[in-house]
Amino acid sequence: MEIQDLKIKAAQIRQDLLTIIHRAKTGHTGGSLSNTDILTALYYEIMNIDVANPKWEERDRFVASKGHSVESLWCILADRGFFPKEELKTYSQFGTRLIGHPNNKVPGIEMNTGALGHGLPISVGMALAAKRDGRSYRVFCLMGDGEQAEGSNWEAAMAGAHYKLDNLVGIIDRNGLQISGTTEEVMGLEPLEEKWAAFGWNVISIDGNSMEELVQTFRNVPEIEGKPTLVLANTIKGKGVSFAEGVPGWHHHVPNDEELERGLTELQQKIDELSGEGQVK
């Protein structure tokens, strides 16, 4: 897809995730909005996957360690055809597969996540298995910045460098906010880039809401043979919805009717602007 098309797709996914959160009256809105560009770049342009064969052995793996921000992932998997889009209406309803965290009963999900700090350690194992089995797939692991307070991430970081896992890409959605405030108030992380570099990773700091930078960065990994990559994706929590951007309360705020309509309208205006030819269906 062209960069312009990816930007339009990201705006459409944001519309979908607002809609399912509003319908379900639950969800993690701010973080899903901030990670949408990352997931759009991966699932529509970068990752080697086969929707018709979700368990294909050579597929690239994606692990959402930041499992609570699942709504953008559900919307993308549905749009790609892993399950019917109609099923999005069941999000967080009784008996649904589409619960509030990734569920590996759904095609396209590699592992159940939600307990923070577990995704990267398992991703290290997946990447190491690929190396030992002589397979070419890559492993992408999306983490939250608040999640960096979990010690298991740093054990995994040490192991990833030790085993020279250049097929492993860690991504931090660095929006600076978590449920109870800024990351630096709750548990200071800086200098985050230097910490990961000290653990032996090739660190690339980018604008995580820039589709151009995301695609270029992911296309070029690994930059250094024998080193895992850490993409420090600097994002804005609530990205794409003006009144939610950078507001801590939108961590798990559910938009009311008025907020939904306003958010959908803003995103549609963005789509129209990007398309240059009126409303995109």
Please report whether residue 165 resides in a domain. Answer: yes
**Phi, psi values for residue 233, rounded to 5°:** -90, 100
Q: List the domain range (segments joined by +) for residue 210.
A: 3-275
Given this model, what pLDDT does residue 277 score?
A: 58
In a domain, 59, yes or no: yes
Q: In this predicted structure, what is the pLDDT of residue 278?
A: 47
Q: Give pLDDT, residue 279.
A: 44
212 in any annotated domain: yes
Q: Report the pLDDT value the prediction gives residue 250, as an integer from 0 to 100.
A: 93
Question: In the prediction, which pLDDT does 230 show?
Answer: 98
The total number of structural domains that make up the chain: 1
Alpha carbon of residue 90 to chain centroid: 21
SS (H, E, C) 151-206: HHHHHHHHHHHHCCCCCEEEEEEECCEECCEEHHHHCCCCCHHHHHHHCCCEEEEE
Domain contains 257: yes
pLDDT per residue, tens digit, the chain (281 aa), is 899 999 999 999 999 999 999 999 999 999 999 999 999 999 999 999 999 999 999 999 999 999 999 999 999 999 999 999 999 999 999 999 999 999 999 999 999 998 999 999 999 999 999 999 999 999 999 999 999 999 999 999 999 999 999 999 999 999 999 888 889 999 999 999 999 999 999 999 999 999 999 999 999 999 999 999 999 999 999 999 999 999 999 999 999 999 999 999 999 999 999 998 544 44
The residue assigned the tokens 């619960």 is 99
The CATH number linked to 154 is: 3.40.50.970
Kindly report the backbone phi and psi dihedral angles of residue 5, in degrees, each rounded to the nearest multiple of 5, phi listed first. Answer: -65, -35
Is residue 281, in this structure, part of any structural domain at all?
no
| Token pair recorded at residue 238 | 């609530």
